[in-house]
């Protein structure tokens, strides 16, 4: 009897392992229905919860995978060809920017049957036509000297070389006015990097996004890539240095910022989370319950 019971137990274990394997294979996805599993980039979000309140059903959820590992989460607008936001965990870094990584695209935006990993753009630009309906391609940024490719999850907020490489997907990029990108935006990202490096003691979750009312990059007489009017960002770090000076401490556990993506009047304005949400509600297609972080980054305990 014991042998039979043992055999049953082994069989049951085998069945569970097979089912688990099948379930895991089912979520090895780039484009996902939700971020509810570790393999679907759940760990990039505070309490595994993305911002709520977006009204559009047209956005695509991307678990940004590189080298078979989930790196960060992005919600993407396949019509305007820009990310609406990217959500990532900040890694302590020296702020060094790598520039030798190839730019990549998301195969599953073009076809569900494609690879679940981001892939470098093919050398042949004629191949880009296969997926330019669903996302931006390198040609869209080729002849627009007034714009820079602004990363929502910036290379400088990552430490591991593969995490850094994964930020070079065009699905993580929006057109930023050159003066804004190289000035206030770069300065703000460095301020946040130093603040989280020095005062965040646990995991820091960052969400960076856009408002989409603005100009559009055109190519071949077609609207190709939306240019955001405003950029915004917020971080959540519930374990922080309680002995930090007050001018830093009041910006924990959560704080936000926004800035005008323009040549002038483009300084980044730091504000409490609720102020940021109120500002964005008037400029985005969201409902009255729009919320960037679960429970406003207040721990349940």
pLDDT digits (tens, 9 = 90+) for 181-198: 999 999 999 999 999 999
Average the pLDDT over 121-137 and give the result.
84
The values of phi and psi at residue 29, to 5°, are -115, 150
Output the pLDDT for position 115.
86
Domains of the chain by residue range: 41-297
Q: Which residues are CB-neighbours of 165 under 8 A, at least 6 positions away?
A: 66, 98, 101
Mind listing the pLDDT tens digit for each residue in 49-100?
A: 999 999 999 999 999 999 999 999 999 999 999 999 999 999 998 888 776 8
User: Nearest-CA neighbor of 298 among 273, 281, 277?
Assistant: 273
pLDDT at 301: 65
Mean pLDDT of 159-187: 97
Tokens of 149: 């490719």
Say how far apart CA 103 and CA 112 lie, in whole Å. Answer: 21
Q: What is the SS3 assignment for 141?
A: helix
β-strand partners of 75: 61, 85
User: What pLDDT sits at residue 23?
Assistant: 38
Q: Domain 41-297: what homologous superfamily?
A: Extracellular Endonuclease, subunit A (3.40.570.10)
φ and ψ at residue 298, rounded to 5 degrees: -100, 120
């Amino acid at each position: 009897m014991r042998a039979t019971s043992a055999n049953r137990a082994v069989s049951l274990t085998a069945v569970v392992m097979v089912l688990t394997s099948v379930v895991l294979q089912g979520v090895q996805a780039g484009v996902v229905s939700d971020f509810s599993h570790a393999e679907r980039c759940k760990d990039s979000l505070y309490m595994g919860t993305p911002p709520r309140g977006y009204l559009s059903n047209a956005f695509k959820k991307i678990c940004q995978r590189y080298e078979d590992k989930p790196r960060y989460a992005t919600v993407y607008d396949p019509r305007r060809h820009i990310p609406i936001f990217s959500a990532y965990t900040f890694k302590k870094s020296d702020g060094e920017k790598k520039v030798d990584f190839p730019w990549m695209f998301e195969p599953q935006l073009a076809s569900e049957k494609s690879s679940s990993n981001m892939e470098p753009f093919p050398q042949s630009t004629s191949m880009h036509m296969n997926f330019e309906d669903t996302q931006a391609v390198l040609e869209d940024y080729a002849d627009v000297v007034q714009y820079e490719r602004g990363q929502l999850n910036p290379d400088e907020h990552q430490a591991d070389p593969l995490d850094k490489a994964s930020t070079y997907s065009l699905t993580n990029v929006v057109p930023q006015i050159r003066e804004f990108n190289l000035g206030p935006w770069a300065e703000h990202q460095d301020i946040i990097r130093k603040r989280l490096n020095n005062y965040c003691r646990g995991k820091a979750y960052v969400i960076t996004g856009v408002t989409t009312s603005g100009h559009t990059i055109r190519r071949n007489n077609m609207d190709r890539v939306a240019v955001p009017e405003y950029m915004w960002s917020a971080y959540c770090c519930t374990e922080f240095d309680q002995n930090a000076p007050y001018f830093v401490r009041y910006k924990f556990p959560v704080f936000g910022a926004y800035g005008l993506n323009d040549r002038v009047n483009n300084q980044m304005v730091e504000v409490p989370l609720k102020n940021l949400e109120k500002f964005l509600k008037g400029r985005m297609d969201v409902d009255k319950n729009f919320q960037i972080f679960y429970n406003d980054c207040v721990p349940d305990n």
